[in-house]
Structure 1
Amino acid sequence: MFGQAVCDELASSGSGSSGAGSTEDKAFALKPIPGSSVSPLLVFINPKSGGNQGLKLLQKFQWLLNPRQVFDLTQGGPEFGLKLYQKVERLQLLACGGDGTVGWILSTLDQLEFSPQPALAVIPLGTGNDLARALGWGGGYEDEPVSKLLLHVNAGEPVSLDRWCLDVEPNTSPSLPSKLSAESTEGEDVPGEPAPPLKVFNNYFSLGVDAQIALEFHEAREANPEKFSSRLRNKMFYGQVGGKDLLQRKWKNLSDMISVELDGKDMTARLKEIKCHALVFLNISSYAGGTRPWNSASGKQTLDDGYLEVLGLTTYQLPLLQAGGHGTCIAQCKRARIVTHKTIPMQVDGEACRVSPVVITIQRRNQAKLIAKRRSSQEQLYVPSEMIRAKQMKIGVKCLLMQDYELHQLDPDKLRSIGLSTLLSLSEILAVILGTEEHMSQFS
């Protein structure tokens, strides 16, 4: 189960004088309660994700767990919490947010050089939630009891995920076919960024029409955030923009604007042959909100095999993905090199922007440890037997109503005075945490 962290305050041996007005620096060492089954859990929540679902989950986790184990990502990001628990063994993480939230936490773990790296589970609160889908956590949080979510995390299966880096250099001598140079169509020399928005991706990297749709969504949401308050509205916008691009056939000349090498082999001619409007480098099975564009007949796809699946999409294939269709499978590769000759929209794990002519090299960076949800046929929610069987041990507790806690949470003396004192065994405490009606009714 998830051990509650114990916080020991240690006075540091500062060398400054102790005169009037001076303050003594202090540090904190966090240690889990000893025990082979203890796995301290840190919860990172983006309260802005999923409408108001993120805020509700933040409050629920703060009530159920020690508040020092729950972190609001809008208050400085994940770095503070990860640093605080960096030396704690058997640490587990839970990210409540979209794919961007997961990438943020994984990148912070890289920066802090965590060793060993803690495993990360996901509660999907974003729009696409493709990584959560690939790990079995579903496409969105459906108000499942938090206590049950914790048991799913505890029973989850550890998996490894390849992470890929984008090395970007400017293309100082772009060249285009004369027919494109004379045309005033998509890809004209509009201002672009010097590089994609992220340098590392976990899900996929793409360029072309799908990145154009993601970019239009981002720009519309930035202009009118109140219109994008639900997952359904977001998907409706994607469908509207995708339908417009289907009629306009944007980026039909994409294959003339780029050249591609996969594991040292020039695949540019293949791109021109299939006349793709988008080029996708896929690391996981789920794409664009749950579709499966890679055809398994072209090769097995796994999270940790060190290969990217490369496929092309046309504006006709994009809507068919929602009906179970596939893209045009090009190859599986360990390394890729892309040269662009015009400003082209690109997206990295759903984050999109227009990028000026560049040379991009893709290669594997490292692997992350994640927690996949066990399938229902295999699912056995594990509760350590020593907790269930310890009926002879009684612990004094104070029982409070939720409304009393919310009203007086900043006044611990008041909470102690109004709390109902009782003795409970560990199994009874566990039953209360899991929401058993028989025990909860005693304190309502």
Structure 2
Amino acid sequence: MPGGEVIDPPHSLKATEECHFDQTLEIDGGIPDKVNCYEGVFYNYFSIGMDAQVAYGFHHLRNEKPYLAQGPISNKIIYSSYSCTQGWFLTPCVSDPSLRQMPFCSCAVEIIKVLVSGGVRAIVALNLHNYGSGRNPWGKLKPEYLEKRGFVEAHADDGLLEIFGLKQGWHASFVMVELISAKHIAQASSIRLEIRGGEWKDAFMQMDGEPWKQPMSSEYSTFLEIKRVPYQSLMINRE
């Protein structure tokens, strides 16, 4: 990312002095004189967009005024109020195309660029089927639909990320109660996301429920890559 510090990064995201650029990376506008690189690990999901913005507002308020969030009922009331006041339910999608059409790249065998439709206000990369208190917004898809979209049945150990979008608060609410499924975007073993500032100077992101504010530049792109770590965590049974 161009020079600039991440605001309130999660514990699992750390700054690193080494920055490695993929030789296949097409950079529009060149590389700035100063760049900052961060790396971290998530297990369940990564998301960018309105859901992360609402989570950031809630966490920020809870840290500043912990006496307001003392139980599950008060937490839900505060969370719901942030969802409404920040436009998750009420306002149309921002018109800035730099925030609407964000390309993903699947790097399993070849790089495939995917453009996200303008109605999507939050994008989630799901590793384990555990989003929003254990929900699975990807859903259980029928074999006919999987074949039509070129998807495979999702499993926790398949090495693939399920990438889906949420359009707005009502859509997300119906997805959470499993009345409908999320907007399916892609499946990939790794992802490269390019974002650039426009009307908005910051993007909101979260990993496993830990949100942060990501500064953006209108002159240079910020790249985010998600890929599997070279090692896996194991649980050992002494028996």
User: Are residues 168 and 210 of structure 1, via their aligned partners in 2, closer, same or farther at CA, if it must alter by over 3 Å?
Assistant: farther
Unaligned runs of 5+ in 2: 1-9, 14-18, 31-35, 147-151, 217-221
**2:91 partner amino acid:** Q
2:218 is aligned with 1:353:
no
What secondary structure does 1:217 align onto? Answer: helix
2:47 is aligned with 1:230:
no
Conserved in 2, the CA contact under 8 Å of 1:204 and 1:284? yes
User: Are residues 238 and 300 of structure 1, via their aligned partners in 2, closer, same or farther at CA, if it must alter by over 3 Å?
Assistant: farther
* 1:34-433 map, 5 Å: 199-244=40-85, 245=87, 246-249=89-92, 251=94, 253=96, 254-256=99-101, 258-263=102-107, 264-268=111-115, 271-272=116-117, 275-297=119-141, 298=146, 299-315=152-168, 316-324=170-178, 325-342=180-197, 343-357=202-216, 358-365=222-229, 366-370=231-235
What secondary structure does 2:56 align onto? Answer: helix
Conserved in 1, the CA contact under 8 Å of 2:132 and 2:176? no
Please state which structure has a larger fraction of its residues in helix. Answer: 1
Aligned length: 187
- TM-score under structure 2 length normalisation: 0.67
Conserved in 2, the CA contact under 8 Å of 1:209 and 1:250? no
Conserved in 2, the CA contact under 8 Å of 1:311 and 1:331? yes
Counterpart in the other structure of 1:27: none
What secondary structure does 1:229 align onto? Answer: coil
Conserved in 2, the CA contact under 8 Å of 1:317 and 1:326? no
- Aligned equivalents of 1:355, 1:206: Cα separation in 2: 12
Deviation of 1:353 after TM superposition, in Å, equals: 1.4
Conserved in 2, the CA contact under 8 Å of 1:294 and 1:309? yes
Conserved in 2, the CA contact under 8 Å of 1:284 and 1:301? no
User: Are residues 168 and 311 of structure 1, via their aligned partners in 2, closer, same or farther at CA, if it must alter by over 3 Å?
Assistant: farther
Unaligned runs of 5+ in 1: 1-99, 108-166, 176-193, 372-383, 385-444
Deviation of 1:287 after TM superposition, in Å, equals: 0.8
Conserved in 1, the CA contact under 8 Å of 2:127 and 2:162? yes
Deviation of 1:336 after TM superposition, in Å, equals: 0.8
Identity across the alignment (%):
26
Higher RCO (CA 8 Å, separation ≥ 6 residues): 2
- Aligned equivalents of 1:312, 1:236: Cα separation in 2: 24
- TM-score under structure 1 length normalisation: 0.38
Let me know the Cα RMSD of the aligned residues. Answer: 3.2
- Aligned equivalents of 1:236, 1:276: Cα separation in 2: 25
